[in-house]
Amino acid sequence: VRLGVDQCIQKFLDVARQTECFFLQKRLQLSVQKPEQVIKEDVSELRNELQRKEALIQKHLGKLRHWQQVLEDISVQHKKPAEMPQGPLAYLEQASANIPAPMKPT
């Protein structure tokens, strides 16, 4: 059984190599016959990559702005004198004031 499996795997790998070779030959023929097509494909791939990276940069900038605002809010809270509320719920009011706002989905 193991020998049969090994033979099947080897046959599959051989066919995969032949298929890859076929497509590489066709790609070479295309690049010789129509070099502008290859350039168009490359340009298209580069544009897609730039768009993806631009979206990633925008996502990170949004997160950066959010955390800068959080840090700014914290520094403002620490700079102003703490007003100590009086009453039975004073501790809870003070503790809840330090809880950051929920993050907005980006």
**Which pLDDT tens digits describe the chain residue by residue (106 residues)?**
888 999 999 999 999 999 999 999 999 998 899 989 989 999 999 999 999 999 999 999 999 999 999 999 988 887 765 555 566 676 667 767 667 666 666 5
Residue pair 31/38 in contact by the 8 Å Cβ criterion = yes
**pLDDT at residue 83 in the model:** 57
In a domain, 98, yes or no: no
Q: Is the pTM of this model over 0.75?
A: no
In a domain, 88, yes or no: no
Number of domains composing the chain: 1
In a domain, 105, yes or no: no
- Owning domain of residue 17: 1-76
**pLDDT at residue 23 in the model:** 96
In a domain, 6, yes or no: yes
In a domain, 3, yes or no: yes
In a domain, 106, yes or no: no
In a domain, 52, yes or no: yes
Amino acid at 20: E
Query: DSSP assignment of 62-104, as one string?
Result: HHHHHHHHHHHHHHHHHHSPPP---STTHHHHHHHHTSPPPPP
Nearest to 101 by CA among 82, 79, 78, 74: 74
Three-state DSSP class for residue 34: coil
In a domain, 38, yes or no: yes
